[in-house]
Chains A and B, each alone.
Chain A
Amino acid sequence: MSSAVQKRYPEVWRKHTPRETAARWLWIAAVAFASAWSVSALDIEWVFFKDAHVQAADLAGRMWPPRWAYLPKIVAPLVETIHIATLGTAIAVVFSVPIAFLAARNTTANGFTWAVGRGILVASRSVNTVIWGLLFVAIFGPGPLAGIAAVSARSVGFLAKLVAEAIEEADRGPIEAIEATGASTFQVYVVGILPQVMPVLIGTTVYRWDINVRESSVLGFVGAGGIGIYLYASINQFAWQQVLVVLLAILAVVVASEAVSAWVRERIS
């Protein structure tokens, strides 16, 4: 038997070719190297871990029992947190639709407008809500307005990206039918494409709203309104029993908003 035949029909079965095996080992080596480099370069003081559980238990002890008398004071900021999330999401929806049309390959005017649309998506999505908060506090001063702006700045990219994908996958049939009536481009977009992407837009909006409630709970850390200010203040005053009340309140609001969001999304799909 020639060696070429033997190469094609080997005696021993192997799952991967030598090339695949080499690639796998290279990946594993890269991961191992990156991990080792990261862990060693961070200068971890392992001594701290020794008494971490004691420290954590001590902190938990100071938190108990929760000071429920603090609860009435944080109802208004909790409502404000939800308002920031809701208004921020609403503004984002309004801006996300035109940006989505700009960033979708089949509806954008030319290569330049497409690049602009994609650029907005990337910039909006890459900067965290809290960092947007930092920026808008510098613009509007501390308060819920900065929070609303931050939430909408981050959500615009999130919504527009998914809507743009839906536009690119839109069914050609209705679009051609509307075009055949002599409709203008704007009319084609509004009557032919928008109804097709509506379910995606609504579903994503409700999903993003629930993420935004969670994000709004920390916007106060940078001065952008909501419950975060009270949490930060209580921690800085070492008022741990108040901290526990605030944490439980945030837990309740976030779990409730998640349930609402899941319920709505189930109903519309």
Chain B
Amino acid sequence: MSTAAYPTSWRPPPAFFGTRTRQHAAVIAALLYVAWSVSTLNIDVNRALAGFGRAVDLFVRMVPPDFSRGELLVRGMVESLQMAFAATLAGVVLSVPLGIAAARNLAPRPVYLAARGLIVVGRTFHEVIIAIFFVKLFGFGAVAGLLTLAFHSVIFLAKMLAEDIENVRVGPIEAVRATGAGFLQVVVYSVVPQVLTRSVGTAIYRLDANVRHSTVVGIVGAGGIGQTLSASFSRYDYDFAAAILLCIIALVALGEWFSDWVRAKLR
């Protein structure tokens, strides 16, 4: 009897990459990548190590958080919330025409391609980049932030709406069309009932996303709590910054909970 056929030890097969040789190759490639990227980044090891000491120092200066300037804090948070609400509203209204234009089964080919192109380009740029342009056009303040969030909301909601419209069942559309209905009547009586519930859910999700993003556009001066936070960091006012961060975490967690709750009810 050969013992080779019944090995006495067992090792689990690699979880992915198929074979052990390919797994080793992947690990080596990953290590080479890390070595290459770290060498090009010019990371100063001493400064990195000093950072850990400074992190402790920073933490000590953040505790306890300073809530004494409550009025400033509340004003920033409320402004962020208002930006998020107003931007979601604008997004919902403006995303309807863009969403219809970006739906393959409703829009003519050239309109569809133009709308899809706008969506791809709009999605690419981070809020902060869009914000800096609106700050240049409309000056510092909440209006620039509102427009930034509205812009991103329109793009996002239109994309989701277009996908929902593309997935509608054709039966109702054909039935309404067979009655001799025009384009608008087809949309109102056969498409809207099919996508409405999902769209409300998407809009609520976007409201939650806008609350998150409203905390960051202030970094480039587009209003909201982010502007207050950025200012407190540049003044080395870390205990106030800690208070702001805690409030942001609470607000975002609350927004997410609310959005999950409403969407669970809609389903």
Contact A134 B248 (CB under 8 A): no
Query: When the two chains form their complex, are residues B129 and A218 in contact, meaning their CB atoms are under 8 A apart?
Result: yes
Judge whether B69 is part of the interface by a CB distance below 8 angstroms.
no
- Tell me whether A42 and B143 are in contact (CB under 8 A): yes
* A130 CB contacts on chain B under 8 angstroms: 128, 216, 219
Supposing A139-B54, A214-B126 touch, asked if A42 and B248 sit within 8 A by C-beta, the answer is no
B15 in the interface (beta carbon within 8 A): yes
State whether A80 and B40 are in contact (beta carbons under 8 Å apart), knowing that A45-B143, A122-B249 are contacts in the complex. Answer: yes
Which residue among B54, B78, B85, B212 has the maximum number of chain A CB atoms within 10 Å of its CB? B85
- A-contact 0/1 string along B209-242, CB 8 Å cutoff: 0001101100110000010011001000010000
A128-B34 contact given A42-B83, A80-B41, A202-B16, CB 8 Å threshold: no
The answer, yes or no, to whether A87 is at the interface (CB within 8 Å) is yes
Known: A42-B86, A221-B128. A52 touches B137 (CB 8 A): yes
The interface on chain B, measured as residues whose beta carbon lies within 8 A of the other chain's beta carbons, has a size of: 59
Q: Chain B residues near A140: list those with CB within 8 A.
A: 47-48, 51, 54
Would you call A205 an interface residue if the criterion is a C-beta within 8 Å of the partner chain's C-beta atoms? Answer: no
Q: Which of A42, A194, A251 has the most chain B CB atoms inside 10 A of its CB?
A: A42
A256 to B78 Cα, complex, angstroms: 38
Number of residue pairs across A and B with beta carbons under 8 Å? 152
Interface residues on A, range: 35 or more
In the complex, chain B residues whose CB is within 8 Å of the CB of A56 = 137
For residue A66, CB closer than 8 A to chain B, the reply is no
Which of B97-105, B117-125, B173-181, B183-191 makes up part of the contact surface? B117-125
Q: Provide the B138-174 mask, 1 if CB < 8 A to any CB of A, else 0.
A: 1100110010000000000000000000000000000
- Contact (Cβ within 8 A) B58 A127: no
**Are A42 and B219 neighbours in the complex by a CB distance under 8 Å?**
no
B37 contacts the other chain (CB 8 A): yes
B71 smallest CB distance to A (angstroms): 15
B249 & A126 in contact (Cβ 8 Å cutoff):
yes
- Whether A138 touches B16, Cβ cut-off 8 Å, given contacts A39-B86, A42-B82, is no
| A48 x B143 contact (CB < 8 A) | yes
Stretch of A6-14, A98-106, A141-149, A164-172 contacting B (4+ beta carbons < 8 Å): A141-149
Question: A1 on the interface (CB 8 Å rule)?
Answer: no
Query: Which of A38, A39, A76, A232 is in CB contact (< 8 Å) with B81?
Result: A38
Q: Known contacts A79-B40, A87-B38, A144-B41; is A131 also within 8 Å of B51 by CB?
A: no
| Least distance between B247 CB and chain A CB atoms (Å) | 10
Which residues of B lie under 8 Å from residue A231 when comparing CB positions? 129
The answer to whether B253 has its CB under 8 Å from any CB of chain A is yes
16 A-B pairs with C-beta separation under 8 A: A35-B89, A39-B82, A48-B139, A59-B137, A126-B252, A130-B216, A131-B216, A134-B219, A138-B54, A138-B58, A214-B124, A217-B129, A222-B219, A231-B129, A235-B136, A247-B125
Given contacts A39-B86, A79-B40, A221-B219, 9 further A-B contacts (CB under 8 A): A35-B86, A38-B86, A45-B138, A128-B213, A131-B219, A194-B15, A195-B15, A202-B16, A218-B128
In the A-B complex, the 4 residue pairs with the closest CB atoms: A126-B252, A38-B85, A38-B82, A140-B51
